[in-house]
Homo-oligomer: A and B are copies of this chain.
Amino acid sequence: MVDPAQKHLVIVGGGFAGLYAAKHLKNTNLRITLIDRRNFHLFQPLLYQVATGGLSPGDIAYPLRAVLKGNPRAHVIQDKVVDVLPDQKRVVLREGGELSFDYLLLATGVRHQYFGNEHWSDAAPGLKTIEDALEVRRRILSAFEEAERTEDPERRKYLLRFVIVGAGPTGVELAGALGELAHYTMRRNFRTIDPADAEVILVEGSDRVLPPYAPVLSAKAQRALEKLGVTVMSGTRVTDISSNTITLQRGDGEPESLAAGTVLWAAGVKATAFGRRVAEQTGAETDRAGRIKVTPELTIPGHPYIYVLGDLAHIEQKNGNLVPGVAPAAMQMGKYAAKAVAARLAGKEPAPFRYFDKGSMAVIGRNAAIAQIANLKLSGFPAWMIWAFIHIHFLIEFGNKMVVSMQWGWNYFTRKRGARLITGKFTPNPD
């Protein structure tokens, strides 16, 4: 079945970069193998919606096989790549032996990191996988349930205090969604507590929320958050987190401890162990976060047949800024790699990768978002409309458009969040 003249391209990771590469290689004669530990592509920008009960996992994840079923040369394997042997042009799989390649695209992404305090992870979970999101959802909803049950006002206050560390897009979106949940969605749902009494505190080390945006947009985002009852503590560092306390330091002040029932982590990412292993095996340089420094063609220096794409790649734009770790950049890299490999198969030399910044946006709540598109700065309802339109547009490709847009329409008009389920860690009666 395998044509020996046919070149084999292996993609590791079915995120935006890997999937876009696979889709754009459809018309080449390459044999393609996409390897992912999971059987689905995850639309990570909406993961915070799962964590706050607005969407179900199935709404933002789609089977990789279904996405690629139209390309009979594309083979999907659910497995984990544990090693890359660059000189032998082979990858080692955990379950399925080894696989040789002619071209290799590495797009395994990043994990959240605790900057040397990895022991904080149980007390302050991050948000990268479906399981992370369901665990966060469980914690948030259980806190309200226990607060309704308890008769101790101190404990109630503790349970209804939510601290989110990091005011990048994920932190801001989580805080906004939590604010909406407490102030609108769960209104009249409780009899002992008023969910609007929940304190949502957003902690940020720099001097404002969403630091990469223009200061005027940061200010608008902060105001929108405050309208939803969120307290923004900028210029504040986290010095310790334990299972029920977070210690914060404002500027050069004394560290202060705050009892909080739920602490969520949205403050920084780093490459996985696999990324570090690749760097080791190829002699590639990495940055502080462990991302691999690539050539202008997105390959590893000295290994022109190994591409690194998406969040795992460290590459500068012309203006000296790094290409950001966002979905549009990953999609562009995936598409670029597909075209570059196709060009090389045709004997041509591909042009270097150029990142086209389509702008960036973050959503705070219903009707509230900010967007920065070239010199255009938008906020409020127009920004929210653009945000919703773009996200639904991209979900089309993964086949979930109808459900998500419908669910959103429904949530929008009713402010309902139907997926408010506490699942996992549940043991039925032992008999």
Query: Hey, which bits of chain A sit against chain B, CB under 8 A?
Result: 37-40, 55-59, 61-63, 65-66, 69-70, 72, 74-79, 95-96, 111, 118, 128-131, 134, 141-142, 145-146, 148-149, 186-192, 272-274, 399-400, 402-403, 406-407, 410, 416, 418-424, 426, 428-431
> In the bound complex, do residue B57 and residue A424 qualify as a contact, i.e. CB atoms below 8 Å apart?
no
Report Cα–Cα, A314/B59, bound state, in Å. 40
Looking at the assembled complex, report how far the CB atom of A120 sits from the nearest CB atom of chain B, in whole angstroms.
14
Report Cα–Cα, A420/B57, bound state, in Å. 10
> In the bound complex, do residue A149 and residue B111 qualify as a contact, i.e. CB atoms below 8 Å apart?
no
Report Cα–Cα, A422/B57, bound state, in Å. 11
Of the candidates B129, B189, B429, the one whose C-beta lies within 8 Å of that of A66 is B189
Report Cα–Cα, A416/B66, bound state, in Å. 9
Report Cα–Cα, A56/B130, bound state, in Å. 13
Report Cα–Cα, A186/B65, bound state, in Å. 8
Subset of 22 A-B contacts with CB under 8 Å: A39-B420, A40-B420, A40-B421, A57-B419, A57-B421, A58-B58, A58-B418, A63-B421, A65-B189, A65-B190, A72-B188, A74-B191, A75-B192, A77-B149, A78-B422, A79-B149, A128-B428, A131-B426, A399-B416, A402-B410, A403-B418, A424-B424
Which of A59, A69, A416, A419 has the largest number of chain B CB atoms within 10 A? Answer: A419
Hey, which chain B residues are within 8 Å of A59, CB to CB?
56, 58
Report Cα–Cα, A191/B74, bound state, in Å. 8
Of the candidates B72, B149, B410, B426, the one whose C-beta lies within 8 Å of that of A96 is B149
Which of A65, A70, A131, A190 has the largest number of chain B CB atoms within 10 A? Answer: A65
> In the bound complex, do residue A58 and residue B399 qualify as a contact, i.e. CB atoms below 8 Å apart?
no
A74 to chain B: closest residue by CB: B191
Report Cα–Cα, A420/B41, bound state, in Å. 11
A407 to chain B: closest residue by CB: B403
Report Cα–Cα, A399/B53, bound state, in Å. 14
Looking at the assembled complex, report how far the CB atom of A211 sits from the nearest CB atom of chain B, in whole angstroms.
26
Report Cα–Cα, A75/B59, bound state, in Å. 31
Report Cα–Cα, A141/B420, bound state, in Å. 25
Given the contacts A38-B426, A56-B56, A431-B272, A78 and B418 also touching, CB distance less than 8 Å: no
